[in-house]
């Protein structure tokens, strides 16, 4: 299957991504990247996450969980991160394949039992499952859209992070 590379489809500059891939092909060590965020507590259940030079994003808990509902809570942010990562994957891979996206909506939901979070019993404090529904409007064939879908789900960094055990080292400084 030959891929068509363009920089004008779906408002994506796929040339920049292709340049990075080419650099990594020749300099594999360039693939090892580090990402970070700084979170500052603002009182109560409110905090703000600072990432690079962007305006800090707010986090809070909804009223039933004791918050003031001034922003999405952390588990909602996890769901949003997955949806945003998938959106990037669809845009990049569709553009590389010459597929026009007319509309894309990704609905992400997760089931979470609050017992462990509230200290009422031991167990899993995280999501028990996450379901994603992708609504993709395109004139591409069903086969092309299925291939696109498989490529995106097989290469999503956030999807891969959520699908496997990742060592997390949390230390008190």
**pLDDT digits 0-9 by tens, 132-158:** 999 999 999 999 999 999 999 999 999
Distance (Å, rounded) from C-alpha 47 to C-alpha 143?
Answer: 44
Q: What integer pLDDT is reported at residue 38 of this predicted model? A: 98
Q: pTM of the prediction? A: 0.91
Give the pLDDT band (50/70/90) at residue 75.
Answer: very high
Q: Quick check: helix, strand or coil at residue 29?
A: helix
First to last CA, the chain: 52
**CA count, 13 A, side-chain hemisphere, 19:** 6
- CA distances to 63, 88, 155 from 150, in Å: 39, 14, 9
Closest CA to 94 of 2, 1, 14: 14
Assigned token pair, 22: 């080419």
Distance (Å, rounded) from C-alpha 105 to C-alpha 74?
Answer: 21
**pLDDT digits 0-9 by tens, 3-54:** 554 457 999 998 898 999 999 999 999 999 999 999 999 999 999 999 999 9
Assigned token pair, 109: 């939901």
Element at 83 (helix H, strand E): helix 74-96
| Mean of pLDDT over the chain | 95
Tell me the mean pLDDT in the region 72-95.
Answer: 98
**pLDDT digits 0-9 by tens, 30-44:** 999 999 999 999 999
Distance (Å, rounded) from C-alpha 158 to C-alpha 71?
Answer: 21
Distance (Å, rounded) from C-alpha 103 to C-alpha 100?
Answer: 9
Helix axes 74-96, 142-155, angle to 10 degrees: 130
């Amino acid at each position: 299957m030959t891929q068509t590379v363009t920089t004008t489809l779906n408002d994506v500059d796929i040339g920049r991504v292709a340049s990075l891939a080419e650099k990594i092909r020749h300099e594999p060590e360039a693939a090892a990247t580090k990402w970070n965020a700084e979170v500052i507590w603002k009182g109560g259940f409110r905090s703000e996450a600072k990432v690079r030079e962007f305006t800090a994003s707010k986090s809070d808990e909804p009223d039933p969980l004791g918050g003031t509902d001034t922003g999405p809570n952390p588990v909602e942010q996890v769901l949003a991160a997955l949806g945003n990562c998938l959106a990037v994957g669809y845009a990049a891979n569709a553009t590389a394949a010459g597929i026009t996206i007319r509309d894309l909506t990704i609905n992400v939901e997760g089931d979470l039992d609050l017992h462990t979070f509230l200290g009422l019993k031991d167990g899993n404090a995280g999501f028990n499952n996450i379901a994603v529904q992708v609504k993709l409007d395109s004139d591409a064939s069903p086969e092309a859209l299925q291939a696109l879908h498989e490529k995106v789900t097989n290469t999503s960094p956030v999807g891969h992070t959520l699908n496997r055990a990742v060592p997390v080292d949390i230390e008190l400084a």
